[in-house]
Each structure stands twice: as C-alpha cells, then as structure tokens.
Amino acid sequence: MATTGSPEYRLLGTKIPYIEGPLKVTGRAEYTDDIQRPGMLVGRLLRSPWAHARLRSIDVTEARALPGVFAVLTGEKYPTPFGVLPITHDETAIAVDKVRYIGDIVAAVAASDERTAEAALAKIRIDVEVLPDYSDPRDGTGPVKEPIHARGLLGSNVQKEVVQHFGDVDAAFAQAAHHVRVRGNFAGVTHAFTEPLATIAEATPDGRLTVWSATQVPHYLHRSLSEVLGIPMHRIRVIKPEVGGGFGGKSDPLPHEIVCAALALETGRPVKILVDREDVFYTNHGRHPTQNDVRIATDARGQILAYDIEALIDGGAWSSFGTVTTYYNGVLSMGPYRVPNFRYRGRRVYTTKPPSGAMRAHGGTNIRYSVEVALDQLAERIGIDPFDLRDQNALPPNSTTVNEFRITSTSFRKCLAASREKSGWDQKFRKLPYGRGIGLGCGFYISGSNSPIHFTPKMPQSTVHLKVDMDGGIAVHSMQADIGQGSNTLLAVIIAEVLGVDLERVHVQRVDSDVSPIDLGSYSSRVTFMMGNAARAAAEELRDKLLEAASTLLSLPVSSLVVAHERFQSKADPKVGVSFLEALHTAMERVGALTASGAYNSPAMGGTFKGARAGTAPAYSFAAYVAEVDVDVETGAYRAVKVWAAFDCGRALNRLAVEGQIEGSIHMGLGQVMGESMNYRGTRLLNPSLLEYKIPMPQQMPEVEILLVGDDDPEGPFGAKEAGEGPLIAILPAVGNALYDAVGVRFTDLPITPDRVLKGIDLRRKEGRPWKGA
Amino acid sequence: MPSPGPLRFQLNGHPVEVPAESARILLDLVREDLHLTGTKRGCDLGTCGCCTVLLDGRPTLSCLTLARLVEGRSVTTIEGVSPRQGLSRVQQAFVDHGATQCGFCTPGFIVTATALLRDHAHPSKEEIERAISGNLCRCTGYTKIVEAIQSASREGV
C-alpha cells in the first residue's frame, strides 16, 4: 500500500499516527474513571432481578440510616421520561411504577465508599407485583395482557411499524423469471467496548452542574440532563474525557449518567458511577435480535425486479434508536443495487429484555446478510457469476433510488473489479477443494444522517472553532467525539493541511460544552464528512486572514500567493514569501488573537412521503469484500484465512485510520458471524461477561488486504466519505457465502457456530447430495 | 479480622510501604490508593487484560491478584515501563503503526509486549499472538498491534 498521498496535498492521504498515541501508550490518556474529584462519593445502582414487575413500594429507610450514606434515590424524584429520539421518550433515569427487564435500575445510592454503598443497596426493601414477561417479539405483535409500555400500538408490544411500498412488487414477482426467499434469524450482539461505562457529576454552589462521561454524543447527554433534571442547558457543563470505544453503545444518553447527576445534586458532593462489566451487558443497546424474511425477484438475466422484505425486530425494554432501526432494516437493504420495486414491512417489538439500540452499521447489517445470501443463491440458480450479478445491478453514480435516496459518488463497480481481481476469484470460485471456499459480500452505508436527531434543520450539524494567538499554536474546539476512531487526528490534519503548518501546532481541545461548539457527535458515520467540512471551512477562513496579511507584507495581491509549508509565498517566485508567524503577527495587529468558525449543513434531500428522510445521507460508502475460508469438515470449526476488502470511502484522508477502521470492522463482523451472541433463557441474559461473550482472538483474524478504490466525493471534505461503519457490513455475507462454496451448506442464521456447520455438512451427506466431489 | 501491617514491595523500581487490607485487590491498590491510573479496569474478572502489570517481570492480571501477595516482590505498571522522556521502542512502534485506537486496552498490551520482547528478541507472529491472547482489543482487530510488536522486535538488537 502506498504510504504517500496525492501530490495535491502535503498530509492528506498519507498514514498519520493518531495524535493521542503517545498519551495512550504510556497510560497518560485520561478516561472518566481516571478522574478524581475532592470529596468524591461512590454511586451505586440497584438493579431489578425481575423482568417485568409493578413496583408496589420501595422502603429505603434502613439504607438511608446507614452511616456513610449520603443519598438514596428512587424513581419518583426525576420521573421525566427521556430517550435518544425526541419522538420516543420512554426511559426514566430510575424505574417509575414498573421495571421492564432484569437489570433495570430501581434505586441508587451515594456513599462514602464502595462497601457502604453496597451495604446500603442490600438494605433496600422492594415489594412488587410480578407481571408476565415477554421474551419473544412474536408474542407481542397483537394485544397482550400487560403491555410493556402504554405507547405500544393497540395494546400490543409493537413499538414501531413501518410499511413502505414503491412500484408494484406483486406485478414484478408475477413476471419474474427467478425468485428466492431467505429467512434468517439473528442473535443479538453487543458492542463489547473495553472501557466500561462511567460518569462523574459535581454540583457546585454557583448553581452549575458539571458532568464528565464516557459518551459518544455529549450534546444528547447535555439535552437529556437538562430535560430530566429540569436545569437549563447553560447551567450544565458536559465534558468528554477520552472514551475507550463506543461502536454505538455510548451514543444514547444512558440512565446512569442522569442518576449520577441527580446524586450529585442531592448530596452537593462529586459522585462517580462506574458501571461494572456485567451491568454494561445489561445496559446493552447492542444490535437487535432480528428475524428477516427476504424475497428477491429477477428477470432471466439476473436483473433485479423487486425486493419484498419483512423484519421482526426484538427491541428489548425501551425505544432507544428503535424507530430508526425499523426504517433502516428496510431502506438500507437496497443500495448498492438498483431495485425498481420495493415493499417492506418492519416491526420493532418491545420485550422485557435489555434494550437494543445502535451498533456499528446500525440497521444495515442483518438485513444485508439476508440480501447478499439471496443474491448468491440467485446467481447460482441463474448460472451467472455472483460478481456479474452484482455488477449488472449496480446503482450508477448521480442516480436516485426508488425511495428517493440521492446517490452522488459511487465506486462500487471499482470495488467489485478490485476484489475480484486481487482475490483470484475466477480461478477459485467453485474450484477450491472441498472444505475450502470463497465468497462475495457487498454493502453500502450512510455517510452521516441527513436527518439529524434533536435538531432544527437550519442549525448546522457540525461547527468547528479555531483560535490562534501570538504563540502560533492553533486551538481547535469541536464537540465531535473522538472515541478512538481518530477524529481528533483528522481534525488536526485538515487544519494543518489548509494552513500549511506542522501538525504539532494544532491542539485539539477536549470536548467541553462550555467552549466546544455543538457537533452531533460520533454516530451514523457522520464525523469525517460533516466535521471535516466544518473544519475545512474554519481553516480556510483563518487562511484567508493570513493571506491578507502576507499580501500586505509582500505588497503582492492575494491571488498571486500560495500556501506553502509554514509559509505564504509568491506563486511565481517561491523565494518571495513570509513565514506563518510573520503573517500571523501582522494579521493580529489591533485585533489580537485570531478566531475562525466553520459549519456544515447537509443539503435538502429525500422525498415527501412519511419516513422519507430515514436513511438519506449526503453520501454513501460502498464495499465489496471477498473472504476465503477453511473448514474442518470433521468438526465444523472454520476460519477466515484471507479477506480482500475493497472499499469506497471517497478519498481516504488518513490511510492509517481508514485501515484501522476496516481491520477493526472485519474483526467485529467476524465475531457476529462466528459466535458472538447474547444468549437468553427466557428473559435472563446468560452470558454477561467477556469470558462467556467471546470476541475473536488474534489467532482468528484473517490476513486482510485493503483495496481503497474510491473516487473523490463531490461534497465530502477533500472528496472523503465515511469509513467507520460501512466496512463492517460486507464481511458477514462474504463469510456466509464462502462457507457455502466450501461445504455446500446455506447458512441463513447468525452466528454460524461450528456445531451448526457440522450439522449442515452431516445433513447434506445424509441426503446424498455431494458437494465438490465430497 | 486483625489488620495486617503495612505492605512492602518494589513498585516501578522504588520501595513502597502502604496500608493494605487482606482483601485489597492489587488493581485497586494501584489505581485507587497509589493513583497510578495507567493500569485500566475493564472487567474485574480477568477476562480482558486491561489491568495487566508485571509481577517479578511476568505479565499478571492485577484484578485477580490480592495485594498482599506482592509482599517483598516487584510490581511494574505501565508507568514503570515508560521512560521518563519519550517513548520506549515498543511504545513508539504502537504509535507509528496506529496500534492504538481507543487506547483503553493499550497499557495492558504495552506491558505484555514489553515482557515478551525482553524474553524473546525476535518472536514469530504465532508467538506474538499467543503472548497477547489474554488481552482483548475491540478496535483494531489486532492487526496493527501484531505489526507494531513485530516492528519493535526487528528494530531490536
């Protein structure tokens, strides 16, 4: 892989180490749990052992009387409901009236130390009326005895139903030459970030509340704190320390964050709540367990005529992002292909289990697996190569989908060509020995949501502020939330690139709502695109001020000057120029420190029908992955040996970070394929630990060959699109389809554990259907 | 329970004497009592490796180690494997290769890799993978971590 970028740019396109790297490798990076405040108390949460129960009474008298206990809180003090989507506020900081899953918060304690807090929790007496629990979403689609929420549709547990129909699906199926149906069952999976959830809150006598929290979206936390606690936002200050991974799991405002703040208000002392690993699993908000039913029709040559899709989505106890999930399972099933007729019915049903929410490649992963397996089956049935089938159905650049998504740049066909060639597909497909297989999986994903949550359309989705003073250091303020993906580094690189300065001059400030202009944070793969454009605009404003100053100093028109390394100089004669600092000091005369601001608003897009904006994005990433697998046909154990990952993120601005996102996505996607599963007995989670919920080991990682083939996006910053979530999607079907090529067994459910592989192999043998000679 | 006397051990090359109850866990002692927060708390169950320290030079899960067990022994944390100025070879390699993303698991990996490279100047890829198999990383897929350790070993003498 090339380590040098385009000659157009000094930094962009190269491999740039993360700017926090030196702090992280020495243990000096500060995470929430590393922060100590004077007189800080320990907050602890009492969690429900009941899946569904009405709270008759909670007696906290004994707990409150315990020496060292500063506060005991129950739900009635702050009953205002909240939730990440303004239209579905159905969570409370602490359970009010009812508990809805094992792990729901019933009470909270602030005490001088951990042991006292635990002792106090043990003294809380709760009287409940146990209610029927609901573990299977199929049981909640009609009227139920005890709806989990009053807002369930028509006395059922259905939280959201989406029905969409474009074109005429029945007519398309009637005239189709081929159609397949794939029904899939997908276990829930969770983010398994390494840093547990943690929050510190401190209320001070000046009437202000400061909250430090491991969050991906400081702004939504800020809003929720204000709404639930009844304190105006300007009196609350939210600070985001380093965050040890999120993947969507730290994007909802979470109850413990609000409880921690409430305890700080109660006690007047700083309070820390560290959510232990088991409770992180109960908090969840991971990928929804889903049942998909996908039908695809094509003509005789394999041209897609229609999709007909149903999804039944297990929401768990709360709405969370669920309304979005319900739309995404439909609308994100189509691209990267042109689908002229489309019908979708999606239902998300509450169950009395830990809530599901947004996890990396939210809403676009499970349905994509079903679609890509269906396309693999269709190719086989029609007798054409899976690559050819996809290539002939590819959405062209500058096109519109049947549901009115605006597609601008797409290098999907280049992705197909690259992974086909590099993987040696034509020499391997259906030609490898029994037990060895190769498969193709594709995908696309939004590069930021055009329809941001909690925002009026005329407000920018991202704003970046710059300040530079006599020292020549550039302070950067933004509420984008680096959670390890390298967005701080990208912010610094874009500014250094535009101004021509060394990276070390640029100091990205910690997210602090008192000084950081609002950005909607790290979710929906929005940061590179939106923050990147805002950062570029801010840096260009500053650059123009400096060019004016250089023009004055050199007595040359601005139009004759260019930005060079730490210098502004004449285009015609590079020897004629001034240094960055000379230009800066001149520009500062009479005005002092220079400031600049840049913002990004996505353009208007999307149709006018109900739900039309769901899934609209200013750009989309595209992927075509090939996986080669090796199956031990006696045990069913298998591994991905190599993956060719062709990805279109437009121009890769920091190749090191893009590679890191792709490699990490493949690891996470392989986990969901090969074994990750939140296992339940009824409503009880059986494996809430990293020992029993196993993520892949280093030995399970395949060799990954990354093929970055994207053309510049017309609206992305310097042509860039997202690379944080889209890279996950394609690996799942690539492995599933490779397993079929290896052993001739279709796996439509995830995870595909070795016992299921072995059962499939045995069944095929018993049925006397040999595969590749075996 | 009778309160035991002060706990004496070598911490990052210096003798220390601290009070520690019998049930005190080494991770709590290091993070909460001695304020060395580079060692991370990821699970408290020995499943993630974020809390790895060196005990007499061997990678050890501090969350599963009773503090009293280190009496008279030597404990080295991430702070102890970091030079006073700059970075160690393996730390520099992690930075250069982008082997950190969120960074929460990183101190545990650095401690583990430091011990590996001390004992094996040129470990194979398989030996590296075995050595780090007690450390979980959810961000990188381990690819760049393995590359960084390989690179640090190649630069060694």
Maximum Cα interatomic distance, chain A, rounded to a whole number of Å: 88
Q: Which domain holds residue A735?
A: 290-450+608-766
Mean pLDDT, range A754-758, rounded to an integer: 98
DSSP label of B30:
I
Q: What is the rounded distance in angstroms from the CA atom of residue B137 to the CA atom of residue A359? A: 17
Partner B contacted by A376 (CB < 8 A) = no
Chain mean pLDDT for chain A: 96
Same domain as A415, residue A351:
yes
> Is residue B2 domain-resident?
no
Per-residue pLDDT reduced to its tens digit, A590-635: 999 999 999 999 998 999 999 999 999 999 999 999 999 999 999 9
How far A689 CA sits from the closest chain B CA (Å)? 8
Burial label for B32, CB within 10 Å (0-12, 13-18, 19+), is middle
How far A123 CA sits from the closest chain B CA (Å)? 23
- Chain A residue numbers with beta carbons less than 8 Å from the beta carbon of B142 are 667, 698, 701
* Stated pTM of the model: 0.97
User: Shortest CB distance from A17 goes to which of B37, B95, B139?
Assistant: B95
CATH number of the domain where residue A634 is located: 3.30.365.10
Q: What is the rounded distance in angstroms from the CA atom of residue A521 to the CA atom of residue B53? A: 34
Total of domains in chain B: 2
Same domain as A227, residue A311:
no
Q: What percent of chain A lies above the pLDDT cut of 90?
A: 97
ipTM exceeding the 0.95 mark:
yes
Same domain as B108, residue B73:
no
Selected for mutation to probe chain B from A3, A20, A24 (highest B CB count within 10 Å) is A24
Q: For the CA atoms of chain B, what is the radius of gyration?
A: 16
Same domain as A538, residue A673:
no
Structure tokens at A213: 């929290």
Cross-chain residue pair A25–B143, CB shorter than 8 Å? no
Are the CB atoms for A498 and A234 separated by under 8 Å? no
Mean pLDDT, range A14-39, rounded to an integer: 98
User: Shortest CB distance from A20 goes to which of B39, B77, B103?
Assistant: B103
> Is residue A652 domain-resident?
yes
- Put simply, the chain A residues between 577 and 606 with a CB less than 8 A from any chain B CB are none
Q: What is the rounded distance in angstroms from the CA atom of residue A138 to the CA atom of residue A155? A: 14
Mean pLDDT, range A531-550, rounded to an integer: 98
Same domain as A393, residue A261:
no
How far A705 CA sits from the closest chain B CA (Å)? 11
CATH number of the domain where residue B148 is located: 1.10.150.120
Please tell me which residue of chain A has the smallest CA distance to B140: A664
Same domain as B131, residue B66:
no
Q: Given CA atoms A31, A34, A37, A39 in this order, what sign does their dihedral have?
A: positive
Same domain as B73, residue B24:
yes
How far A553 CA sits from the closest chain B CA (Å)? 39
Cross-chain residue pair A31–B133, CB shorter than 8 Å? no
Which one, of A250, A20, A240, A34, lies nearest residue B41 by Cα? A34
Total of domains in chain A: 3
Q: How many cross-chain Cβ pairs, A to B, lie less than 8 Å apart?
A: 175
Tell me the one-letter amino acid at A687.
N
The confidence band for B151, taking pLDDT boundaries of 50, 70 and 90, is: very high
Per-residue pLDDT reduced to its tens digit, A445-497: 999 998 877 667 788 999 999 999 999 999 999 999 999 999 999 999 999 99
Same domain as B138, residue B101:
yes
- Put simply, the chain A residues between 660 and 689 with a CB less than 8 A from any chain B CB are 660, 663-668, 689
Same domain as A47, residue A100:
yes
Cross-chain residue pair A690–B45, CB shorter than 8 Å? yes
Mean pLDDT, range A706-723, rounded to an integer: 98
The confidence band for A225, taking pLDDT boundaries of 50, 70 and 90, is: very high
The confidence band for B157, taking pLDDT boundaries of 50, 70 and 90, is: very low
Mean pLDDT, range A698-713, rounded to an integer: 97
Cross-chain residue pair B138–A193, CB shorter than 8 Å? yes
DSSP label of A293:
E
- Chain A residue numbers with beta carbons less than 8 Å from the beta carbon of B50 are 194
pLDDT value at A3 more than 50: no
Cross-chain residue pair A660–B136, CB shorter than 8 Å? no
Per-residue pLDDT reduced to its tens digit, B53-69: 999 999 999 999 999 99
Q: Which domain holds residue B48?
A: 7-81
Maximum Cα interatomic distance, chain B, rounded to a whole number of Å: 52
> Is residue B113 domain-resident?
yes
In this structure, the strands spanning A304-316 and A125-130 are: unpaired
Same domain as B124, residue B76:
no
pLDDT value at A638 more than 50: yes
Are the CB atoms for A329 and A290 separated by under 8 Å? yes
- Chain A residue numbers with beta carbons less than 8 Å from the beta carbon of B124 are none
Question: Which of B81, B104, B123 is the last residue before a domain boundary?
Answer: B81
> Is residue B130 domain-resident?
yes
Q: Given CA atoms A209, A213, A218, A223 in this order, what sign does their dihedral have?
A: negative
Cross-chain residue pair B100–A667, CB shorter than 8 Å? no
How far B117 CA sits from the closest chain A CA (Å)? 16
Question: Which of B63, B81, B99 is the last residue before a domain boundary?
Answer: B81
How far A619 CA sits from the closest chain B CA (Å)? 24
